[in-house]
Structure 1
Amino acid sequence: MYLHVQRLINEIVPDEPDPAAANALQEGLGGQFGEMRTMMQYLFQSMNFRGSAGKPYRDLLQGIGTEEISHVELIGTTISRLLDGSPRYNGKKTDPLDTPGAGGDIPLALALDQGNIHHYLVAAQGALPVDSAGNPWSGSYVYNSGNLVLDLLYNLMLESTGRLQKCRIYEMTDNKTARSTISYLIVRDQAHENAYAKALETLGVDWGKLLPIPKTNAEKFPEVKKLVDRGLQSKQYTFDLTGASEAGKIFRGMSPSKDGTELDASEQAPAGVPITIADERFEEFAPGLDPELLALIQATADIEMAEVQPVYAPVAPSDKG
């Protein structure tokens, strides 16, 4: 089972709204090589895993798949922040006029000529499970052959291609909100490249000589360099409350990226950063709560929260005990 910590896995830096950048990021969310794909692919591979002797590989897949859930949350939230631009968006400080949605302009006029109109028409200025061309995410993207070597090879290719696309998206925008998330995902994709390459090495497949793919020298991106200097490309988290993960048996030793770092799987999860809920969007009728209904919701929430005990249930005894 999974637990949700109400923190984002990485900070989203504030900047001006940018619908075009939001649409580019949709590729990294719902595209063929996006975060929804990696999340589903690794979780299905871990759920369908066979062979108790291969538990460390199953645990590695499960840990990375769980991290990808947080990446979906991060990139989806980033897209929402980039779209949150009407009617209170006042433009850049250098703009001669407050635009759009100010000075009498139509609140959602920007939806007609920037980014993806469905962000405003369907999603109320939020992310969608689609790619940058508006094509819906498809479960047919998920590869789960049941053969460990084939799955690991495919996963390495998936992380490498996803990282390549994120490097391209980085070059498409100078928006700080977009780049803060893109940079983090570039570095974590490299960590996952390292994980799958190391797993393949333990099975006699020497893919490490090819890494990192792409050879972009992504450290030329200043936001990426800060994360690489922290060694984030060489860490992998277990997201395991019980301490039963054996992924550290694989994710160890020198990094396949040949950057002089050692792989580290000793951390359960990153600290993360606080999550904030976005403001209401009155022009989108979202959430559309009148004062009386809000008061009722708050009263109900106060009663229910008073009854919540923030503890975990006791672990059920094993049937084999």
Structure 2
Amino acid sequence: MYLHTEQLINEIVVDEPDPAAANALQEGLGGQFGEMRTMMQYLFQSMNFRGDPASKPYKDLLQGVGTEEISHVELIGTTIARLLDGSPEYQGKKTDSVDKPGAGGATPLKIALDTGNIHHYLVGAQGALPVDAVGNPWSGSYVYNSGNLVLDLLYNLMLESTGRLQKCRIYEMTDNKAARSTIAYLIVRDQAHENAFAKALESLGVNWGGVLPIPKTNAEKFPEVKKLLDKGLQSIQYTFSGDNLSQAGKLYRGASPSNDGTELSTAVMPEGVPITIAPERREEFSPGLDAELLSLIQATAEIELKNADAPGE
């Protein structure tokens, strides 16, 4: 059972729209090694987990990392939407019809023809899609769940390492602050997950810790990444255990396999940042509630407030 806290797991820095960066980030969302893959893979491994009570820490670790990946899907998807929102910005008047050209005779959605992924405008109304950077739909066949704990953990370690490699490449593709704030966070959290699966493997007699992190990207040269590494974010794993019954801390402890001098620790969940709703996009025919629905909602809310304040209710 999951609870959703209406906060993003990390702040998205405000910057100008950048549809090309948004499309690159689609690989980190819906690609073979993206956040949708990690989310589904770890949750399926956790749901299908078998073993005696002594093996519960491994199930809890998979459950905790998988739950965190849900928040990463939310974070990267929201970042893509913000990189697309208003790109192109509609410069017409609010009283104009949506198909009237914008300022200087520019067509509102002209940029969609030659920048980024046209489906972001044709299908997604300037929002994220469950696809990779070239538009291939996300596939459930990406998910690896062998039923063998060592094989699954090895595969998970490879998945996190490859995902971090790709995010380092995406970071080098754009200087957009919004994109980089999310990419840097995911780079560091991918390393934390590498540490998680390495520690779990070590406990099973498989010594992978000596070669971490994979790849050796020297990602701390990225200023946004270094700031997070200095906080030790690569060495903490969240359990997202509302009843605090997770046993993942039995595995995620001790010296970090990344050999960076830090100690591993667990926590229930991080402090998030507020989520804001994106504005309407008239050029995409994507309004919110129309006037009639808004007045109906307001009237309903007033009735409910009146009933709630009534004595004896």
The answer on 1:143 being equivalent to 2:130 is: no
Structure 2 residue runs of 5 or longer lacking an equivalent are 92-100, 309-313
The answer on 1:124 being equivalent to 2:125 is: yes
Once residues 184 and 299 of structure 1 are traced to their aligned partners in structure 2, the CA distance between those partners, rounded to angstroms, is 43
Contact 2:160 2:194 in 1 (8 A): yes
Query: Residue 238 of structure 2 aligns to a residue in which SS?
Result: coil
Q: Deviations over 1:64-111 (max 9, x none)?
A: 000000000000000000001245378xxxxxxxxx953331000010
TM-score (norm 1): 0.89
The answer on 1:20 being equivalent to 2:55 is: no
Contact 1:101 1:109 in 2 (8 A): no
- 1:204 CA displacement: 0.3
Q: Deviations over 1:239-297 (max 9, x none)?
A: 001011000000000000000000011x1100010000000001111135321122223
- 1:53 CA displacement: 2.2
* Equivalent position of 1:205 in the other structure: 206
Query: Residue 159 of structure 2 aligns to a residue in which SS?
Result: helix
Structure 1 residue runs of 5 or longer lacking an equivalent are 91-99, 309-321
Letter in 2 for 1:134: G
Once residues 306 and 103 of structure 1 are traced to their aligned partners in structure 2, the CA distance between those partners, rounded to angstroms, is 50
* Equivalent position of 2:274 in the other structure: 274
Once residues 269 and 131 of structure 2 are traced to their aligned partners in structure 1, the CA distance between those partners, rounded to angstroms, is 28
**Shift in CA distance, 124/302, structure 1 to aligned 2, threshold 3 Å:** farther
Once residues 265 and 205 of structure 2 are traced to their aligned partners in structure 1, the CA distance between those partners, rounded to angstroms, is 21
* Equivalent position of 1:8 in the other structure: 8
Contact 2:17 2:87 in 1 (8 A): no
Query: Residue 264 of structure 1 aligns to a residue in which SS?
Result: strand
Query: Once structures 1 and 2 are overlaid, which stretch shifts more, 78-87 or 6-15?
Result: 78-87
Q: Deviations over 1:21-41 (max 9, x none)?
A: 000000000000000000000
**Shift in CA distance, 101/305, structure 1 to aligned 2, threshold 3 Å:** farther
For 1:145-184, what aligned pairs fall within 5 Å after superposition? 145-184=146-185
Aligned residues: 298
Once residues 285 and 13 of structure 2 are traced to their aligned partners in structure 1, the CA distance between those partners, rounded to angstroms, is 26
Contact 2:18 2:87 in 1 (8 A): no
* Equivalent position of 2:73 in the other structure: 72
Query: Residue 236 of structure 1 aligns to a residue in which SS?
Result: strand
* Equivalent position of 2:283 in the other structure: 283
Query: Once structures 1 and 2 are overlaid, which stretch shifts more, 285-294 or 228-237?
Result: 285-294
Once residues 224 and 231 of structure 1 are traced to their aligned partners in structure 2, the CA distance between those partners, rounded to angstroms, is 11
